[in-house]
Amino acid sequence: MREPEIDLRKSPGAARKRRAGGRSARAARRQAGNLATAPAVITRRIPVYALLDEDALQRLEDHADWILREIGIEFRGDDEALRLFKDAGASVSGARVRFDTGLARALCATAPKSFRMEGRDPASSLTLGGEHVVFMPAYGPPFVTDLERGRRYATIEDFRNFVKLTYASPWLHHSGGTVCEPVDLPVNKRHLDMVYAHLRYSTKPFMGSVTAPERAEDSIAMARLVFGEGHLEQHCVIQGNINVNSPLVYDQVMSGALKAYARANQSVVVSPFILGGAMGPVTQPALLAQAHAEAMAGIALSQLVRRGAPVVYGNFLTTMNLKTGAPTFGTPEANLSTFAIAQLCRRLGLPLRCGGQLTASKVADGQAMQESATSMMAGILAGSNMVFHAAGWLEGGLTMGYEKFVMDLDHCGMMLRMLGGLAIDAEGLAAEAYREAGPGEAFLGTAHTLAHFETANYLSDLADTDSYEQWVENGRLDLERRAHRRWQQMLDQYEAPPLEPAIDEALKDFMARKNAAMPDQWH
């Protein structure tokens, strides 16, 4: 099936216009920030940025091969994985798996170059890979913060709020996974409520649990209740995010979850998680080769479990303050590595996850937005197909920020407009406007300006561009305080998408049975 395309060169405003119920409806939505759901598919119309030349890329690939051949990767506590690798020709010694030159790459070759991921509403379905770009919220924070209540442990209510905010935004295409960690629920049961929230409060594609193989199976089982028993055999509707236990290790939790998703023909994102200096050497070339080796090994396993299972080549590679050991984000070294890893991934021909609005800042201040904007732009120009942490991330991923979330959304909108590129055509060149307004004359009143003024530019939801005097009169609000109003408006105006009552009942039954069958575990 060919998906509908939105031509972003005509600006998001134009896309909204076609769906809109006239000017007042549009204005009302903009006011609330509660814009219509996202364009299903974003097609990249700008080139990728190629940092490294052929020779440098070849050296990185050779070094990845050397790591796989001489050092190897450990798959700990997973005999099935070791057997699969051995049968495929790898050398296995204890938990250590070593690959001859080219073997891991060859095993990755059966993964699709791009694949379709279905949402509960077909309008929310998307494509991962190729020229497509997908944004999703932050993943994993145990804390949340907002201007009124401050920083605190996240709850399932916060989790639902971020699923709702994600659903309400046109700039996020994917509902994410653990948008925050609902620590008010038992560790062994919270995955049920998380998956339910994604399925009930959103229609966008989402991620299930990976914290234990049986929780991955529960997540997939709940998706089957919604999409139909046999549907998952041929269609991808859920993903698992597999973080490698870098350096060079997959433990049985991660490989077990990976196998569960792959067996069900569902997608995994295989993400080496490397802070340079701790989980790898301190120099970027080594980290790039290591990340490439780790990703290939995990993707190879997915293909040994099920040839053709959809995967995303993931990456989370950043720097540390080497005097304190603290992770750092949006740094020049991390951005350079983002550019380079994208090139390595493209040479494998797989969908790429990299980039994100990343920061070490505790608050949504200048540091947060400088680091976030820089790391996001690096990922976009690098050619990322899937951006984790596109909204809300603070404090190195420990905290999900309500204000940061909507601040990031606005930047996501800008990045999507940038991906639409520039069409150099007669309409844009505006010869008539120059005939109408000559040297020294204002162009505001020309017919060309009047015809284009509503759609020419992305209109920020949050940026203040008023005069100083007007800004003072409006209360001297900085971006964070303007954002505080915005997410509250978005939640106030949120409307849940319909869900067939029988399906809702089936989900609740499943959860009740699972909950009853296990005692609560709190760690």
Ranges within 93-132 binding a second copy (CB under 8 A):
96
Contact with a second copy (CB under 8 A) among 79, 332, 496, 498: 332
Task: Say how far apart CA 329 and CA 335 lie, in whole Å.
Answer: 9
Task: Name residues contacting a second copy, limited to 243-302 (CB under 8 A).
Answer: 245, 247-249, 276-286, 289-290
Nearer to a second copy, 271 or 331 (CB): 331
Tokens representing residue 488 in the block: 């509250």
Q: What is the DSSP letter of 248?
A: S
Give yes or no for residue 448 binding a second copy (CB under 8 A). yes
Nearer to a second copy, 92 or 499 (CB): 92
Task: Say how far apart CA 347 and CA 122 lie, in whole Å.
Answer: 31
Contact with a second copy (CB under 8 A) among 54, 321, 512, 520: 321
Give yes or no for residue 459 binding a second copy (CB under 8 A). yes
Near a second copy by CB under 8 A, which window of 31-39, 114-122, 213-221, 479-487? 479-487
According to DSSP, the β-strands at 73-75 and 96-98 are: antiparallel
Beta carbons of 25 and 253 less than 8 angstroms apart: no
Give yes or no for residue 72 binding a second copy (CB under 8 A). yes
Give me the numbers of helices (H) and strands (E) for the chain, helices first please: 19, 18
Task: Say how far apart CA 90 and CA 188 lie, in whole Å.
Answer: 35
Near a second copy by CB under 8 A, which window of 56-64, 162-170, 345-353, 504-512? 56-64
Coil/strand/helix, residue 131: coil
Contact with a second copy (CB under 8 A) among 44, 480, 487, 514: 480
Sequence-ordered list of residues with C-beta below 8 angstroms from that of 9, at least 6 positions apart, any chain:
45, 420, 421, 422, 423
Contact with a second copy (CB under 8 A) among 227, 273, 434, 494: 434
Contact with a second copy (CB under 8 A) among 119, 170, 327, 397: 327
Taking alpha carbons only, the member of 173, 184, 164 closest to residue 128 is: 173
User: Where does residue 251 fall: left (phi above 0), alpha (psi -120 to 50 degrees), or beta otherwise?
Assistant: beta
Coil/strand/helix, residue 74: strand
Contact with a second copy (CB under 8 A) among 139, 458, 487, 510: 458
Give yes or no for residue 343 binding a second copy (CB under 8 A). no
| Smallest gap from residue 325 Cβ to a second copy (A) | 7
Give yes or no for residue 487 binding a second copy (CB under 8 A). no
Tokens representing residue 125 in the block: 């379905």
Near a second copy by CB under 8 A, which window of 132-140, 160-168, 420-428, 487-495? 420-428
DSSP conformation letters of 10-51: GHHHHHHHHH-SSHHHHHHHHHHT-PPPPPS-BB--SPPP--
Task: Say how far apart CA 402 and CA 161 lie, in whole Å.
Answer: 9
Nearer to a second copy, 222 or 248 (CB): 248
Contact with a second copy (CB under 8 A) among 19, 63, 235, 485: 63
Sequence-ordered list of residues with C-beta below 8 angstroms from that of 7, at least 6 positions apart, any chain:
14, 15, 43, 420
Interface map 391-410 toward a second copy (x if CB under 8 A): ----xx-xx-------x---
Give yes or no for residue 153 binding a second copy (CB under 8 A). no
Give yes or no for residue 2 binding a second copy (CB under 8 A). no
Near a second copy by CB under 8 A, which window of 158-166, 345-353, 384-392, 425-433? 425-433
Q: What is the DSSP letter of 386?
A: E
